[in-house]
Amino acid sequence: MADELKDMVLAYVTKEYLEDDSEPLTYDTPLISGGIVDSFSMVSLKRFLENKYAISIPDDEATPEAFDSVNKIAALVERFVAKK
């Protein structure tokens, strides 16, 4: 699940938030602190994850720190999927 989840998130962020000739992302590329996904765009990313994995991430857990890399996002999603 873990790699599949990371790849899914990586592909989505690449498709939705990067321009065509941007540097490719890695699982650890800083997304929020690196300015790739701003706090407003984070809302649509959170919505994607909630829809895709049928989870609900509380606002106080959807922090810039928790969304700052594909690895961190995957960890967050796995935690909520496990609670289902």
Which long-range contacts link 4-12 to residues 24+ away (Cβ below 8 Å)? 5/74, 5/77, 5/78, 6/70, 6/71, 6/74, 8/52, 9/49, 9/70, 9/73, 9/74, 9/77, 10/70, 12/45, 12/48
According to the binding rule CB under 8 A, does residue 7 interact with other proteins? no
According to the binding rule CB under 8 A, does residue 22 interact with other proteins? yes
Contact range with other proteins by CB under 8 A, out of 3-11, 19-27, 76-84: 19-27
Q: With respect to other proteins, which residue has the nearer C-beta, 3 or 24?
A: 24
Q: With respect to other proteins, which residue has the nearer C-beta, 50 or 78?
A: 50
Interface with other proteins by CB under 8 A: which residues? 16, 19-22, 30, 32-35, 37-41, 43-44, 47-48, 51, 60, 64-65, 68
